[in-house]
Chain A
Amino acid sequence: MTAFRLALRNLRRNKRRTVFTTSGLTIGLIVMIFAYGMLDGMEEQALANTIRFESAHLRAFPAGYLDNEFMRDLDDLIPHAEQLRDSLAAEFEARATVRLHIQGQLISGREEAFVDIIGVDPERDRTVYDVLGSLSQGSSFGGEDGVLVGRKLAKDMGFAVGDRVTLFARSAPGALNSRRLPVLGLIATGNPLIDGHAVFLTLSDARAFALVEHEANEIALLFGGRGRAETVARRVRARGGSFDWQTWREAAAGFLEIVKLRRIVFGFIVALLALIAAVAVSNTMIMAVHERTMEIGALRALGFERSLIGRLFLFEGIAIGVIAGVIAVVLGGLLVTWFNHAGISLAAYEDMDIGIPMSEALYPALRWTNPVAAFVFGVLVTALASWHAARRAQKGEVVRALREGML
């Protein structure tokens, strides 16, 4: 108790130095809380985006479909896709939809691009995906024929709602087919695969274009919670059969790697921050030991144990960590809460492919673990940094400390 009270009082001795050291550490911890909130938010949003627009919770494809990302023909399709859809939906209490993907070209004037032409059942698709609800311009499928196109793709190719574009692809029998359709609407999901590469038309139009009847090459399932996907995937894979199954986690593996890489890079930055903070705190504490050498001698003369003297300085350093930690938790928490509501606009970067599916605003995640980790981190760093000074303070001879002011 003596050491703790003295440690707190001693912080007031050189207020400017204490404030400077504490502020530096506080800023570092706030940066840590905020940055980890951003990373968590980015990960959460990207996962949500992937599930909502790209992967659902679990998808079935024809066998081998996932192995040929760039050369997917229509030779292998899921026959009677609607029947399988209904049976899977009933068995696993899932919402389900059928899609037909056709790799082809989109031509507008002199511009052309390789695209994923996706046939969707509008009613069913809305129960699994949010793509059709993400129109930024125009309207969705109604009575008339037409396509919905990713907004970035339209921008890159220079066409707008109402313009006519040509779809060009190989049909299931192998013959080349083309169709000229009006653009009904533009879709903005923040998912680069959709916004920059996808063209949607109704499933019936897509089947007519591909010259198939009841076949498809994607059945997407959405469960009550995403945690169920792995269990269901294990069960359906155990049955064998001629399907490729892909969970949302497998679909997101690419950007999860990117997020992981960012975490590693940020880990290095945090380590650097820790080093700077440790040097600052250690320097502060060593200066304090030097300034109080005669006092240390007097306390030793009064009968203070060496270990108690050491604890004085250790507690003083830790107190800096605790104060900085508390302030950082409050301010960092407020900052994250604020941006969690307001969001950080990414509109200026909408044309930039950052490799992570994101919406137009980034919302840092509110997780209690980040402030707690920052607090513990701050206290540990200051404890380690003060340990050296504490060891120094408890060394040395009383007489020398009293006489020469040296330990």
Chain B
Amino acid sequence: MNAEPVVRVHELSKSYNQGRVQAVRGVSLDVSPGAFLALAGPSGSGKTTLLNLIGALDVPDEGEVTVAGGRLAELSEKQRTRLRRQRIGFVFQQFNLVPVLTAAENVSLPLEILPGTTRESRRRAAVEMLQRVGLEGLGDRLPSQLSGGQQQRVAVARALVKNPPLVLADEPTANLDGATGIALIDLMNRMRTDQDVSFVFASHDPRVLDRVDTVVEMVDGCIRQ
């Protein structure tokens, strides 16, 4: 039985500086539901650009991306924003939590812009999510009162709280020490199983690459076969 891929990338290309920098060249890739996949490669290999294209943060010059059944090329900017809001979770290298919101408020933030949620349902979801990432009782703390590892766990909780089919994580362990990074990847792996969500990482961290199911190696904007 072959399930429909969560992400389908076909002959994707993207360049910057009026074509002088070819970041991604003719890449094709499928991401299955429940995948735990890493785009690996040195800096400048195009993995973050590919992640951004999959995440509807950027538009390709050529080729096509389909996410959760939606062809991004056919979506307007508003529709792409809505897709991100509803179907894609993001984890960033710098955590990018909102510093003036508590951990629980950060986690519930994506739900606040989703229709049909109530304050109580958002609060409950945030508390539950924080519990699942091992931050029970820390919901009232501001990001500045948490360690780097804890902040990244909050970011993971924020990415997963809306139950997206896809989470994209750009160098999520780059600012974490060894043990914390490993613990974070293990946590995401557990969440992948619990929530039936696909994770796509852009990373060159061996701790990540050792723990994912699939490593897609990129060099000079292309996937190494």
Interface residues of A (CB under 8 A from B): 1-2, 6, 9-10, 12-13, 294-295, 297-306, 308, 397-399, 402-403
Contact = CB atoms under 8 A, between A and B. Distances in A.
Contact of A298 (B55, B81, B92, B112): B92
Contact of A9 (B92, B101, B158): B101
B110 A301 contact: no
B57 A301 contact: yes
B204 interface: no
B69 interface: no
B57 A302 contact: no
Nearest to B96: A298
Contacts, number: 63
Contacts of B158: 302
B57 A303 contact: no
Interface residues of B, number: 24
Interface string B42-59: 000000100010010110
B101 to A, nearest CB: 7
B90 interface: yes
A332 B198 CA distance: 60
Interface in B58-86: 58, 78, 81-82, 84-86
Contacts of B134: none
A6 B97 CA distance: 13
B90 A301 contact: yes
A397 B58 contact: yes
Given A13-B99, A303-B84, 6 more contacts: A1-B112, A2-B112, A298-B96, A302-B109, A303-B110, A403-B48
Contacts of B101: 6, 9
Q: Taking chain A's interface residues, is the majority helix, strand, or loop, or is none over half, making it mixed? A: helix
B163 to A, nearest CB: 14
Contacts of B22: none
A302 B155 CA distance: 11
B78 A305 contact: yes
B146 interface: no
6 contacts: A295-B98, A300-B57, A301-B55, A302-B158, A303-B110, A398-B57
B214 interface: no
A297 B170 CA distance: 14
A2 B98 CA distance: 12
Contacts of B3: none
Contacts of A305: 78, 81, 113
A62 B85 CA distance: 85
Given A301-B57, A402-B92, A10 B100 contact: yes
A393 to B, nearest CB: 14
A295 B55 CA distance: 17
Please provide the 6 A-B residue pairs with the shortest distance between their CB atoms, ordered closest to farther. Answer: A303-B85, A298-B96, A9-B100, A303-B84, A2-B112, A398-B57
